[in-house]
Amino acid sequence: MKRIIVANARYWLDALNARVEDDLLPEADIRSVARALEAAITVPEAWDLTRALALAVHPHMERRGYWTDWDGFLRVLAAHARQRAGATAEAELLARRGVIQRQRGAYQAAAASYRRAWWLWRWTGGQLGLAQTLSNLGDLYRLQGRFRRAEILCQQAVALFGVLEDTARLAYAENHLALVYFDQGRYAEALPHLTRSKTLWQETGNRHGLAKTLQNLGELYRCTGDLGLAMAFFRQAIHHYRAVGDEIHVARTQLNVGNVYLRQPDLLRAAEAYSQAESVLKRAGDSLDLARARHNLGMVYTRLEDWSEAEACFERALEGWRNRGDAWNLANTLGEFAELHLTCGRWTRAQTCLDEAWELVAERQEAPYEPLRRELAERRQKLRRLTGLEWPEDEVGPGDNPRPTPSP
């Protein structure tokens, strides 16, 4: 039986190694590989084969969205490596696990995986693994709003990949560094890094990496107001994602497309784009982008005056933010929900939403909270004007405070 298990695992490893990078494994074959792995891990002497097969199938698991089950399997493999197989094997598996956890929106868990991998790569002297982990951890810090730390790590990754002359991974690192600047509104600094990333992807012929950078270029132009160019980049990104079978990133890009329609405004097309994304993200277990899709649908249905559908979408988004412990997005959705209640004359429910949101943001000092706090203060004043309630004056700075665009 062991010989059959080993032969089956070797067959699938050879099959994966023979495929080009963008040739995604069919779902039936992925299930067969998963069964081969489950059997191979029971054969201690086949460990090296098991590890190699897991690393080879990892990109296919990621792009197909099998994140929950694959995260669990990587946890088992990493524990096995820590006990028996050595630091390099553990670092490789933890780095992949961090990628899956980050995709699922489990940022704290991903950070723990990346930090452990970073320490192991430094201990073993694995420069390529170290550079990859620097880039991924920097991107994770970006998502957590720790921009200075993110910038330093991404710059280190760019420099190290340059020394190693690894064009493909340098393209990833340039993209990550661009996003650090993008998230701070430093668009002029982000653009050359995105352009460099795009050129590098075109040199390597990697359509999946190219699609990611095209998507980010589209978002940059959406934020700077060139909606036509933004949509062109989004459609190019979707084309490449579909060519390599990555329906999860198709869905994420559909959120961006919906944001363009919302700005135009073309509300029915926006609702269609968000709804298409929602169904895919729900199946994949992407809690972060699923909540974003539901928040944005709530905004669309509010503008369409479909109050019951808007309320249902906001409720589902709030559940997602509470489950994630995401204070900023929870307060943001509560603010939009309050606006719906204000429009419908539901003063008590509006006040409940605003009170909860204000408690979340009132004492936060991080930069992203300031415009949200100003917006909530204006809505509290609006409710006071409508109802005559006596509330303490909120501090609102001079001038208009335009609402932030829906979460990209």
Neighbours of 319 (CB within 10 A): 13
In a domain, 79, yes or no: no
Domain that holds residue 295: 283-408
CA separation for the pair 297, 308 (Å, rounded): 12
Predicted pLDDT of residue 176: 96
228 CB burial (10 A radius; 0-12, 13-18, 19+)? exposed
What is the rounded CA–CA span in Å between residue 162 and residue 158?
6
DSSP per residue, 242-277:
HHTT-HHHHHHHHHHHHHHHHHTT-HHHHHHHHHHH
Residue 232 lies in a domain: no
Whether residue 408 has a cis bond before it, omega within 30° of 0: no
For position 245, what pLDDT does the model report? Answer: 86
Q: Is residue 171 part of a domain?
A: no
Is 105 inside a domain boundary? no
- Condensed to tens digits (0 to 9), the pLDDT of residues 221-270 reads 999 999 999 999 999 999 999 998 899 999 999 999 999 999 999 999 99
Residue 127 lies in a domain: no
**196, 158 contact by CB (below 8 A):** no
pLDDT of 286:
84
Look up the CATH number of the domain holding residue 324.
1.25.40.10
Residue 389: its pLDDT value, please? Answer: 58
Residue 254 lies in a domain: no
Q: Is residue 90 part of a domain?
A: no
Domain assignment of residue 39, yes or no: no
The number of domains in the chain is: 1
In the predicted model, residues of the chain with pLDDT beneath 50 are 391-408
Asked if 207 and 170 touch (Cβ cutoff 8 Å), the reply is no
